[in-house]
Amino acid sequence: NKKISIAIDGPAAAGKSTIAKITAEKLSYIYVDTGAMYRAITYKALKSQIDIQNEKEIEQLLLETSIELKPSNSGQLVFLDGEDVTEKIREEQVTNLVSTIAASGPVREEMVYRQQQLGKDGGVVMDGRDIGTKVLPHAELKIFMLASVDVRAERRHLENTRKGYSSNLEKLKEEIELRDKLDSEREISPLRKAEDAVEIDTSFLSIEEVAAEIYALAQERM
Ligand code: C5P
């Protein structure tokens, strides 16, 4: 069996990381959550109180920052300069700012470079917004995962409630819509379906069904 690369893109909260994790586990591949990398630098920028409008400052900050993704039982841990920030990068403040920082050209260039290094030997499942179009344009399997905004907000709401976090469905819907808008309308590597991507609308599918479909598609390409 050939070690292929699998790119999973799509809007916020479409279930990409859940499915990517399962797929990587089934295939014994590396899982790379690229959103977590953008979240990690956003978290650091917030903490360091630099001017977040200043691209040069953020680029400089990123160049001196180490971001590591380590597999764990619960999926993936995110380390920022050696500190475990897995939970912290999911906080609202980070979520609301990440798309602004991810729109910066120099930040994207450095992130794409790091992601390509992580994926260079294949055997990788990577999820994000520009994986099929920019990071891994030669990936053997590209998935574009969609779901209605209502379904996505409901799922995130359920997840939050289950974890014991406070959660407001209407606010979640707004946050998701705004992030999709920013990510789709930015100038550099906007959220787009790659021409050769397989589109999967997960609105009415279970996690198991989506995972099975992607697994079958992966098998065909090995
Ligand atoms: O996937 P997640 O929702 O954690 O991503 C957080 C944000 O990071 C996205 O809303 C987007 O602004 C940015 N992102 C990106 N390119 C990627 C992955 C994430 O611009 N490949």
Model pTM? 0.97
Residue 197 counted as domain residue? yes
Measured CA to CA, the distance from residue 35 to residue 12 in angstroms comes to 10
Quick check: is 117 in a domain?
yes
Using CA positions, which residue lies closest to atom 14 of ligand 1? 35
Which domain does 111 fall in, by range? 5-217
State which of 8, 37, 38 you would mutate to test the pocket of ligand 1, scoring each by most atoms of that ligand within 8 A of its C-beta. Answer: 38
Q: Count of domains in the chain?
A: 1
Would you give the end-to-end CA distance of the chain in angstroms? 6
Question: Which residue puts its alpha carbon closest to atom 21 of ligand 1?
Answer: 128
- What is the distance, to the nearest Å, from the Cα of residue 30 to the centroid of all Cα atoms in its chain? 14
- Distance, in Å, from the CA atom of 142 to the CA atom of 145, rounded to the nearest integer, reads 10
Determine if ligand 1 sits within 6 Å of the CB of residue 99: yes
Reported as type and span, the H/E element at residue 79 is strand 75-80
Residue 73 predicted with pLDDT over 90? no
Q: 28: buried, middle or exposed (CB in 10 Å: 19+, 13-18, 0-12)? A: exposed
Query: Could you tell me the pLDDT band of residue 49, with boundaries at 50, 70 and 90?
Result: confident
Q: Is 102 in the pocket of ligand 1 (CB under 6 A)?
A: yes
Provide CB contacts within 8 A for 180, sequence distance 6+. Answer: 11, 12, 149, 191
Helix (H, G, I), strand (E, B) or coil at 89: helix
In a domain, 222, yes or no: no
Percent pLDDT > 90 in the chain is 93
In tens, the pLDDT along 103-128 reads 999 999 999 999 999 999 999 999 99
Q: Sign of dihedral through CA atoms 39, 42, 44, 47? A: negative
175 CB near ligand 1 (under 6 Å): no
Q: Above 90 in pLDDT, residue 129?
A: yes
Distances (CA, A) of 43 to 4, 52, 94, 118, 216: 32, 11, 6, 22, 37
Residue 75 covered by a domain: yes
Centroid of ligand 1 to alpha carbon of 172 (angstroms): 16
Q: Is residue 69 part of a domain?
A: yes
pLDDT of residue 141: 98
Distance 215 CA to ligand 1 centre (A): 24
Find the CATH number of the domain harbouring 73.
3.40.50.300
* pLDDT tens per residue, range 14-43: 999 999 999 999 999 999 999 999 999 999
Ligand 1: centre distance to CA 1 (Å): 31
